[in-house]
Amino acid sequence: MRARALHVSDPPNPNSSPVDSTPTEKELAGMVLRLTAHLVTYPDPAQLTAQAETIATLTAQRTFLVQQRDEEHERWCAERDSWDRVAEALLSKGRSTGQKDYEAERKLGRLQDDNSMLRHKLTDALDRVHALEAELSRLRPLLLVQPELLNDPAQSPGFFQLLPM
């Protein structure tokens, strides 16, 4: 790339054909040459030594991390095998207790049916309580105005509505 930039910015010899390049291309070629100028000089030996030490350290760290990853992988494989054995034991035990599961499901179904029936009865009872409370709130003013009705409940206008049918 540097050679091409040199060729664009300044032809190698005066006898060669001139390169048709715009001022912008020449400016870009000059920028490339300036940016790559430090690469032409040889690096400092101290810098090379420091880089070699860094590379050696990084290689040792990589080796250590790879070894650690392999150990973790082996541990995970052993743990997975252990879980597989436990799962297989539980599954085989579960197959033998199929009858117990059937009984438990049957009892559960029966209890759910009972709960449904009791919920229905509770709803009916609550409706009845609300009806009685409404009747009571209607009768209170009558009882305050006509206290003699307390002596003979058969004369009350809502008496027959309160009796269960």
Mean of the per-residue pLDDT values of the chain: 81
- What average pLDDT does the segment 159-163 reach? 53
Structure tokens that stand for 99 in this block: 């009858």
| Residue 11 binned pLDDT confidence (cut-offs 50, 70, 90) | low
- What average pLDDT does the segment 85-90 reach? 92
| Residue 50 binned pLDDT confidence (cut-offs 50, 70, 90) | very high
Global confidence as pTM = 0.33
Structure tokens that stand for 101 in this block: 């599961």
Residue 139: CB atoms within 10 Å: 16
Alpha-carbon span 22 to 29, nearest angstrom: 11
User: Collapsing DSSP states into helix, strand and coil, what is residue 123?
Assistant: helix
- What average pLDDT does the segment 22-47 reach? 80
Residue 133 clears pLDDT 80, i.e. is over it = yes
Give me the residue spans of the domains in the chain.
Answer: 1-41
Alpha-carbon span 131 to 151, nearest angstrom: 24
